[in-house]
Every structure is written in C-alpha cells, then in structure tokens.
C-alpha cells in the first residue's frame, strides 16, 4: 500500500517517489489546497471509502495517510 500512496503523491504533487517521504502540506510549493483535494479524492478512490472533512484536514504527510488508512480499516 505504501508504494501506491507514494505513486499517488508523486503524480499529484509532481515530485519523485523518493521525495514523497519528506513533503508535507503547507511546506511544499506543489501541495496546495487544490492538490490536497485531488489527493483526498485519489485516496477515496483507492480505498473505496469516503474521507470526512475532519480526517482530510489531518492528512499532511505520507505518515498521516498511513494513520488514516489504519483508522478507516481497523
């Protein structure tokens, strides 16, 4: 799953796969509110579950995405 998340991040934020570990919302020029919205849509499509606004606001890094996944499926 981590590889899929990294690929999604790489595609949306136009960074290398290696950079996906480092970038955070608000700290990378390509991670703006519009691309954050696209990320949430991509995660919902990947996981087949809706992500509520409160949870979406907490997603600011790859680690946060993993935590969100764990919360949704465990």
Indicate whether 74 pLDDT > 90: no
Alpha helical stretches, state H, 1-74:
2-13, 33-47, 53-58, 62-73
Cα distance between residue 59 and residue 39, in whole Å:
9
Give 7-21 pLDDT, tens digit per residue: 999 999 999 999 999
Number of domains forming the structure of the chain? 1
CB 68 within 8 A of CB 43: yes
Domain residues for the domain of 24 are 2-73
pLDDT digits (tens, 9 = 90+) for 34-68: 999 999 999 999 999 999 999 999 999 999 999 99
Q: What is the mean pLDDT of residues 17-30?
A: 94
**CATH label of the domain that carries residue 57:** 1.10.1200.10
Q: What is the pTM of this model?
A: 0.93
pLDDT of residue 5: 97
Q: What confidence score (pLDDT) does residue 6 get?
A: 97
């Amino acid at each position: 799953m981590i590889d899929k998340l990294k690929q999604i991040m790489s595609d949306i934020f136009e960074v290398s796969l290696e950079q996906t570990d480092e970038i955070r919302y608000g700290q990378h020029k390509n991670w703006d509110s519009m691309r954050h919205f696209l990320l949430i849509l991509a995660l919902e499509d990947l996981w087949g579950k809706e992500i509520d606004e409160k949870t979406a606001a907490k997603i600011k890094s790859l680690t946060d995405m993993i935590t969100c996944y764990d919360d949704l499926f465990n």
